[in-house]
Amino acid sequence: MTKDRYKRILLKISGESLMGENLFGIDVVTVDRVAREVSQVFNLGVQVCLVIGAGNIFRGLSAAAEGMDRASADYMGMLGTVMNSLAMQNSLERIGVESRVQSAITMTEICESYSRRRAIRHMEKNRVVIFAAGTGNPYFTTDTAAALRASEMSCDAIFKGTLVNGIYDKDPKKYDDAVKFEKISFHEVLTRNLRVIDSAAVSLARENDIPIVVFSIKEENSFVDIMEGKGNSSIVTS
Ligand code: GTP
């Protein structure tokens, strides 16, 4: 069973998946549902840490495309991830899952600052750790933050919960004949320029030999199902 293969994993959730049916912002019912699924996986005995994007609040890249300075836009995006992280912490704690938010940008009044050793300690004490503010640097995406933290935490896999249920040869929203990969290599994701995960994240995961499982977090129970060896996903491995 998948859960037996993974002792510690990092779940990366796109910001958009926390909007629910809204066009913007945080839908608390959706965050509660995702938190429930995280707690179910956690109850299977898998240590879980999280990185959340910010596309539901602010998209650094889009703002940069419209003329905003890229570094400023990225910092605003990082602040968006802190809001999402605090919302997730709140949902987790309301269902009795202990969690800690650690930010890559120091804001001690709001949450802990990132510390690798402390984060590992939290996980050993059965806490879910939520890594906020990306890598703390502009020009890096939250996918890259996920690959970086997963490497630092010695995670067995990265689970990328997004809006599509796997990796396709072309955009399945645009093309009906798009074909899904059940399994694909890091090399192929990079050379085919399949944009479902950014290339810096894929390179980092490849260097550290951490498989990436791509699945739809919008589909209810998909995270738990995949852990139990069911469900719909694609896996990137070496
Ligand atoms: P252990 O000592 O390993 O049991 O971990 P702990 O996190 O419970 O200990 P600590 O006393 O450091 O933290 C108690 C609470 O304060 C937790 O909710 C932490 O998240 C929070 N906390 C710790 N450091 C900071 C910080 O720098 N800023 C903020 N805002 N909260 C913090």
Q: What is the pLDDT along the chain (238 residues), one digit of tens a residue?
A: 566 789 999 999 999 999 999 999 999 999 999 999 999 999 999 999 999 999 999 988 888 889 999 999 999 999 999 999 999 999 999 999 999 999 999 999 999 999 999 999 999 999 999 999 999 999 999 999 999 999 999 999 999 999 999 999 988 889 999 999 999 999 999 999 888 899 999 999 999 999 999 999 999 999 999 999 888 999 999 9
CA of 104 to the centre of ligand 1 (A): 16
CA of 101 to the centre of ligand 1 (A): 9
Domain count of the chain?
1
Rounded to whole angstroms, how far apart are CA atoms 32 and 17? 12
Distance set, CA 141 to CA 90, 98, 120, 165 (Å): 24, 27, 23, 21
User: How much is the pTM?
Assistant: 0.95
| Ligand 1 pocket member 94 (CB < 6 A) | no
CATH number of the domain within which 168 lies: 3.40.1160.10
Question: Which domain covers residue 86, as residue numbers?
Answer: 2-237
| Ligand 1 pocket member 110 (CB < 6 A) | yes
CA of 112 to the centre of ligand 1 (A): 7
Coil vs helix vs strand at 225: helix
| Ligand 1 pocket member 112 (CB < 6 A) | yes
Distance set, CA 94 to CA 3, 38, 112, 168 (Å): 25, 13, 19, 37
